[in-house]
């Protein structure tokens, strides 16, 4: 067999999926003092609150939404890798309440290690997800790189009234999470050959489920804020929401939706390095109940590749919105917490 065909994609990278992201504390240092809002009046969303995409308002009231996302493989099947990466890239548009219209591919491959047909399968996997979302891959850019990288730059549109930031949660809001946690745990187990076939199928079903429900949720005035849960884990992205709104967010650990084998694998030590980096970045902004065990904390910090949406909505609409989300094809969706007055932080109750 050709040496190129024997190489596992997941072994060519030092980290996989959104676990490759810089730690939240490092990113804060890099962006400290960087602001664009005051210089460009039409830029509705920039870097100030660590939101999911940039938003530019056109003269006719329509907004252009732009994002980019790419990472290294967390699975070995090239088509699966392409599908996961593309789904993750599209998520930021949906999280802002927009509709994607076009994508550009971002590709970096060690050409001396990966066969051209393997790279083609990665691109085909990504294109298949874009087809499902109803958009073309209209071009892109490629380089020869020491580790395999793939993702998309995505352009979307939305009305100004439908744009949902991560910073507009209100006192009394309930929080809904649309997908189960544990993707990073599963990827760590996969890399060590400890993930069952059923768990792999569950992993693929979650990471390739488009967050398109965000576009519909943004049409509802009861939905105040949205973000997607990716590399910083549930705690990191919830903390961005809390800091942006200047509120305290309380999450009930016992009510979190988990992938079927996530708890068992976490207790066996299958965690990513990003989980620890995430926790170290939260500093004193997270208060953990004494009843929350270490393995559960790992799940709270677990980097989610192509994770679910975190939705802040009016309390009296939460149950109805949850029903709408579940009916739209997100059976793991749960109400997981609430927003209260208080200093910006996360409180985790057992």
Rounded (10°) angle between helices 197-207 and 78-95: 40
The Cα 350–Cα 279 span in angstroms is 18
**Residue 313 annotated to the active site:** no
Please report, for residues 13, 25, 27, 56, 213, the alpha-carbon distance to residue 36 in angstroms, rounded to integers and kept in the order given: 34, 20, 17, 12, 29
Across-strand partners of 248? 340, 345
DSSP one-letter string for 87-146 = HHHHHHHHHTT-EEEEEEEEEEE-TTTS-HHHHHHHHHHHHHHHHHHT--EEEEEEEE-S
Please report, for residues 81, 110, 220, 242, 340, the alpha-carbon distance to residue 317 in angstroms, rounded to integers and kept in the order given: 37, 50, 10, 20, 17
The Cα 189–Cα 225 span in angstroms is 33
The Cα 59–Cα 77 span in angstroms is 45
Catalytic residue (one of 18, 20, 301, 313)? 18
Strands 248-252 and 345-349: parallel
CA trace torsion 137, 143, 145, 150 (10° rounding): -10
Give me the active site residues, please: 18
């Amino acid at each position: 067999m050709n040496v190129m065909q024997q190489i596992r994609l997941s072994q060519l990278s030092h980290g996989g999926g959104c676990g490759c992201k810089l730690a939240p504390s490092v990113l804060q240092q890099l962006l400290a003092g960087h602001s664009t809002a005051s210089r460009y009046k039409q830029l509705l969303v920039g870097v100030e609150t660590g939101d999911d995409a940039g938003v530019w308002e056109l003269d006719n009231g329509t907004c252009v939404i732009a994002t980019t996302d790419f990472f290294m493989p967390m699975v070995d099947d090239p088509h699966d890798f392409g599908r996961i990466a593309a789904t993750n890239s599209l998520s930021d548009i949906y999280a802002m309440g927009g509709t994607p219209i076009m994508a550009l591919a971002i590709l970096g491959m060690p050409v001396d290690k990966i066969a051209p047909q393997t790279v083609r399968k990665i691109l085909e996997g990504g294109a298949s997800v874009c087809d499902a979302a109803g958009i073309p891959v209209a071009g892109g850019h490629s380089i020869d790189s020491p580790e395999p990288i793939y993702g998309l730059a995505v352009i979307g549109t939305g009305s100004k009234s439908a744009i949902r930031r991560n910073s507009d949660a209100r006192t009394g809001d309930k929080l809904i999470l649309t997908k189960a946690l544990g993707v990073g745990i599963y990827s760590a187990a996969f890399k060590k050959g400890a993930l069952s076939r059923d768990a792999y199928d569950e992993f693929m079903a979650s990471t390739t489920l488009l967050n398109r429900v965000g576009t519909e949720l943004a049409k509802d005035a009861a939905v105040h804020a949205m973000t997607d849960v990716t590399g910083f884990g549930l705690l990191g992205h919830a903390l961005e929401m809390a800091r942006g709104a200047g509120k305290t967010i309380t999450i009930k650990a016992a009510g979190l939706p988990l992938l079927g084998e996530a708890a068992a694998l976490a207790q066996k030590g299958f965690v990513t390095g990003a989980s620890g980096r995430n926790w170290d970045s939260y500093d004193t902004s997270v208060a953990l109940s004494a009843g929350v065990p270490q393995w559960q904390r790992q799940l709270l910090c677990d980097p989610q590749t192509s994770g679910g949406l975190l939705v802040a909505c009016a309390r009296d609409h939460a149950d109805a919105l949850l029903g709408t989300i579940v009916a739209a094809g997100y059976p793991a969706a749960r109400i997981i917490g609430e927003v209260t007055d208080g200093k910006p932080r996360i409180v985790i109750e057992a």
